Structure 1
Amino acid sequence: MNQRFALPDVGEGLTEAEIVSWKVTAGDTVAVNDVLVEIETAKSLVELPSPYAGTVVRLLAAEGETVDVGADIVVIGDGAAEPAEPAEPGEPAAPVEPAPAEATPSAAADSSGATLVGYGTREAAPPRRRRGAPAAQQPAPQQSAPARPATPQQVPQPPARGGHVLAKPPVRKLARDLGVDLATAQPTGPGGTVTRADVLALVPSAPAEPARRVEKHDRERHVPIRGVRKATAAAMVESAFSAPHVTVFTTVDATRTMKLVQRLKADPEYADVRVSPLLLVAKALLVAVRRNPDINATWDEANQVIVVKNYVNLGIAVATPRGLLVPNVKDADELSLKDLAVRLGELAATARAGKAQPRDLAEGTITITNVGTFGIDAGTPILNPGEAAILAVGKISQRPWVHKGKVRPRYLATLSLSFDHRMLDGESGSRALADIAAVLEDPARALTWS
């Protein structure tokens, strides 16, 4: 008996995901919880385990294809893999669409699908779609006609206009580029399939290939808006146009902080963790939150209240090959300095490796973005949606500074705090930034203000 596995919602309100890579092929034998496929959601890469044991009969989605939640993506059963339709020379093979299952008692019993731990059962699967493709038109019902014996001279007739035309994706694209209606083509391919030659036959003096685009287009690079980039764009637009941003700046003498970083690196207690200035910036922000709790809040429009959090899920913006991710350290305010260093290192490494899980990226309350790592002095960061404040840290470098009445080389950095002006006014935002700067100028304040 064949079982169909549908794309589940992996716990982040998922509506669709991209098939990144299959870990199995048709004919492979799998056990329950063996990894079948890696998908990319709007936030993370997720591996999906198999809810069934058996043989992979057919993969129903190609790598790079966007699939709706609830759509079938693989068939697993006890039979051999089904052969794919042969491709024409020079064309990639088109995915074979599954034939509709007959209504049998066993099929009805399996209609809800097996339960995958944490995903639940599924309803009837919606159709898959390829990225950028319009919704498929439903073929008009056709009346059955008496069968007539075919003769050798009989030529295949094109399907009635509005009916389903069999053609591979490259042929469909060629028809679109040339303005040809596939329903008017005389199919000469196997099983009544319209071929490239059938399309070109409808275009007088048609070239063998569509005309090249203009030269300007050849010098452009088109990047699909999907995955993390798509989610980031939506979040930033929502934040920028829903929360009134204000940014305040200050320059801090971080010389003592840099000396403390060097001492911690030499401390055997910290030998197995990564110590950086960002660790002490994070600690300074946590101290400031304790003294200015309003910067750790959310605006609840529906209930017309400001929700001040009594915990800190500290987000750290991480640049990854997939785009900007903001994993957060849960209950960071309850961690020791060493434990905070360990968690920051783990989250950053996981995010850069593309293994951040939805739970790592959810429920942040305040964020730090370190633009200094790119050699940038300052910035005006946009809030993560739902958060009241975000701190940007510029590069820390030696510059001339008046210290104890004399100009000396000191380690300076510019701090920028953007905040939601609905929740914080200029005074409260400035006080919070001043507290962060004070701790970085004299790290001992982290003890005296605790």
Structure 2
Amino acid sequence: MSDTLTSPVIVAPIAKERRVVTAIPGPLSVAMHERRKQVIPPGVGAALPVYIDRAHGSIMVDIDGNQFIDLAAGIGVNTIGSTNDAVVAAIAAQAANVIHTCFTVTPYEGYIRVAEILVERTPGTHAKRVMLSNSGAEAVENAVKIARKYTGKNGVGVLDHAYHGRTNLTMAMNFKNAPYGTGFGPLGASVFRAPSSYPYQDGLSGEEAAKRTISYWEKTVGTADLACIFVEPIQGEGGFMVPADGYLNKLQEWCTANNIVFIADEVQSGVARTGHYFASESFGLVPDMMTVAKGMGGGMPIAAVVGRADIMDATHVGGLGGTFGGNPVSCAASIAVFDEIEKDNLIGEAQRVEKVLKGGLIAMQAKRPVIGDVRGKGAMIAIELVHPGTKDPYAEAVTHVVNYAAQHGVLLLSAGTYGNVLRFLPSVKISDALIVDSLSVIDDALASL
């Protein structure tokens, strides 16, 4: 066998358009799915069983040659687009030097540089510390550990419609049990759930909703044993709920007054997705701690806990870490992501996406009464589908639209506790033309209900 490296394969550019050339899924994807069934358990689901061969920007190409406009971005991961050139180059360069050592054994600069960037970019000018991990759920678990160590308390407060992950503790923190926690118990203890702010359905002001939330926690756990509360500034899996003005601020004031760590879970909403570096900024929040993941790696697995120095420093030496957390290649990718955000003004690009996408959906709502609510910020937008004339969930309509869109070359995701929300998580670099084309497909799908 030759030791000579083979030359890289030259791949033809991907046209920036949707293109359907076979049935969806196509014959090669159908055959691949049969292979999958022989070795992959059904618990690892497949929202759309088309098998992707290549991707760039906002277009994915399956093994049958079909091209999809990607409005999911790997569930919010590919915020700056698939296979971003700068990220690919950073990955290749780092992989040629060091792929792995384990930062807690023999450290390296990349981990430190990612931490420096997060300290600079997260809300607040106070002293901060950062630990890196592999996934959003792992970051959430570590944040709970740190908050418990700092406060000496056990309770974890969470909200209705929340989603925090698939590990044992985070399953307990989720609002919706199925399918994430069904049959997987017993789950983590000392988790206390309270109603959240859901303006479209509850009609409460931020102050009214906060008063209700705080009352639940004071009665069910009490401030003396509540270590922390977790909030998603914009809820993700729960349906992209944007809380009423002032709601989160009131919760933070209550936390500060009662030695409760206020933690913002920005796994899905962070890193330039909402027209700010972090969604917390749009509400005037400076969280005590934050969890970050998804978009910060450009497709590579990396996550972080960022917190006030006094809270993060409360943990004993050796209490935090992990074999792969802050892997050198993932760190290189993350540094490239933040460089791209600055170089290409991707905060502004997210605001552009909101204007075009949300504006188009609001116009569509005027003629499609099945759209009950249009909400979200930046490139994190959703529509809630209801039976016309009511606010009753219309999950069947969401299923229809997702399936119709797939057949016509648009990848969409559903969301919401009741399965009646369509969520849009495109790259912030998606073109106006692709947004408009996607909206035309969605409008046709709604017309065909």
Higher helix share: 2
Q: TM-score range by the shorter chain?
A: under 0.3
Give me the TM-score of the superposition, normalised by structure 2: 0.21
Give me the TM-score of the superposition, normalised by structure 1: 0.21
Higher strand share: 1
